[in-house]
């Protein structure tokens, strides 16, 4: 078909009743998909750049923390755990070890002291499984620094709902599973709005709010709010 014939065919198509409206809808859909993809690409690009910069800047903190963890309690420096990522995919989640090596074995006997209002997650302000160094690095979120490598690997983002344990996901309602629709993050809306002081239902509500209104600008604001949240240590336990 020649270029002239293509133009004639297009004119005939547009003269059909409702044809212009149909093509207008298609164009909007194409633009919407391009916007979503470009936004996702930019978010991933910024995740890689910022996580690499942060890992470089905080490299002395990495070294000092690793040394303190190693010399103050027996066990590995890095604690790895299976967490649930986007669409339910499992991945290895990294943190500086902040608990004694028998922490998981002792969890069952401490469940009766769970201070999480909803009971889905386990939280205890005076958790005896946490080492003295661990209490400090948890308060200021230093234990989370190895997750920068999770971001580089693509398992996590800098901003997004916190990745849950598989055992927690098994108790989720269909509504709560909506937080698995996007890549989990190091920090999120509820991390800068009260952290562990918030009940699980409030955390879910804030995650859903983030998912429905997420943008590059909102991610930037959450990252900015994360700094004072970390420095004050409010709600971290």
Nearest CA to 66 out of 79, 80, 58, 78 is that of 78
Q: What pLDDT was estimated at residue 18?
A: 57
Q: Please report, rounded to a whole number, the percentage of residues in the chain having pLDDT higher than 90.
A: 51
Q: What pLDDT was estimated at residue 231?
A: 79
Contact in structure between 62 and 142 (CB atoms under 8 Å): no
Strand-pair partners of 79: 95
Task: Please report which confidence band the pLDDT of residue 198 belongs to, taking 50, 70 and 90 as the band edges.
Answer: confident
Q: Are strands 185-187 and 157-159 parallel, antiparallel or unpaired?
A: parallel
- The encoded tokens of residue 185 equal 């993050």
Provide mean pLDDT across the span 173-190.
91
Q: What pLDDT was estimated at residue 12?
A: 65
Q: What pLDDT was estimated at residue 165?
A: 93
Q: How far is it, in rounded angstroms, from Cα 72 to Cα 66?
A: 10
pLDDT in tens, 94-117: 999 999 998 888 887 887 777 765
* Helices 19-57 and 59-72, axial angle in degrees (round to 10): 60
What is the number of residues in the chain?
Answer: 237
Q: What pLDDT was estimated at residue 196?
A: 73
Q: Give this prediction's pTM.
A: 0.80
C-alpha distances (whole Å) from 236 to each of 93, 201, 202, 233 are 19, 18, 16, 6
pLDDT at 14 exceeding the cut of 60 = no
Q: How far is it, in rounded angstroms, from Cα 228 to Cα 217?
A: 18
Task: Please report which confidence band the pLDDT of residue 141 belongs to, taking 50, 70 and 90 as the band edges.
Answer: very high
pLDDT in tens, 56-80: 999 999 999 999 999 999 999 999 9
3-state secondary structure of 83: strand
Q: What pLDDT was estimated at residue 161?
A: 94
Q: How far is it, in rounded angstroms, from Cα 213 to Cα 39?
A: 13
């Amino acid at each position: 078909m020649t270029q002239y014939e293509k133009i004639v065919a297009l004119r005939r198509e547009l003269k059909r009743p409702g044809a212009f409206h149909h093509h207008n809808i298609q164009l909007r859909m194409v633009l919407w998909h391009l916007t979503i993809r470009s936004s996702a690409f930019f978010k991933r690009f910024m995740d890689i750049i910022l996580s690499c910069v942060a890992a470089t800047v905080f490299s002395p903190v990495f070294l000092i923390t690793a040394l303190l963890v190693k010399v103050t309690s027996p066990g590995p420096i890095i604690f790895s755990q299976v967490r649930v990522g986007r669409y339910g995919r499992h991945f290895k989640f990294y943190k500086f070890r902040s608990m004694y090596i028998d922490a998981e074995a002792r969890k069952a006997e401490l469940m009766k002291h769970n201070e999480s209002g909803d009971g889905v997650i386990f939280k205890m302000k005076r958790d005896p499984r946490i080492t003295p160094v661990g209490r400090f690095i948890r308060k200021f979120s230093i234990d989370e620094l190895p997750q920068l490598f999770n971001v580089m690997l693509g398992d996590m983002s800098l901003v997004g709902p916190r990745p849950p344990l598989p055992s927690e996901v098994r108790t989720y309602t269909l509504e709560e599973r909506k937080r698995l629709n996007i890549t989990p993050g190091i920090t999120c809306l509820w991390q800068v709005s009260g952290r562990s002081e918030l009940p699980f239902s409030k955390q879910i509500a804030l995650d859903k709010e983030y998912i429905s209104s997420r943008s590059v600008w909102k991610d930037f604001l959450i990252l900015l709010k994360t700094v004072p949240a970390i420095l004050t240590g409010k709600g971290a336990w």
